[in-house]
Amino acid sequence: MNDERCQSCGINLAPSTHGSNKDGTPNMDYCSKCFQRGSFTQPSLNIQGMIQKLAENISAQLRIPEGRARILASAIIPLLKRWKQPEIAK
């Protein structure tokens, strides 16, 4: 079982989808869509925006209505490291 998730968008992380640190090494917390070369690719994205993105993703992947997918996404996103922090990473 691999339940390693991107700590920003909630997708499952595989070795090929890890983001990168400033020095080019793989970042273990975030995927390549969210985090590249040491910073977030969409720094202004807020938690509501991310829940919406994940809901669309889940809806397409699992072929369930978006309303249901949003309930799942709302349960996942707030637990992730990026959104748990009281301050946005600088």
Q: Which of 5, 6, 27, 76 binds Zn ion (CB under 5 A)?
A: 6
Which residue number, 57 or 65, has a Cβ lying nearer to Zn ion?
57
59 is an interface residue for Zn ion by CB under 5 A: no
Please give the torsion angle defined by the CA atoms of residues 17, 20, 24 and 27, in that order, rounded to the nearest 10 degrees: -90
- Report which of 70, 67, 54, 71 is spatially closest to residue 9, judged by C-alpha positions: 54
Among 9-17, 53-61, 62-70, 82-90, which window interacts with Zn ion (CB under 5 A)? Answer: 9-17
Does 51 bind Zn ion (CB under 5 A)? Our answer is: no
* H or E segment to which residue 1 belongs: none
Using DSSP, state whether 57 is helix, strand or coil: helix
Residues found near Zn ion in the complex (CB under 5 A): 6, 8-9, 31, 34
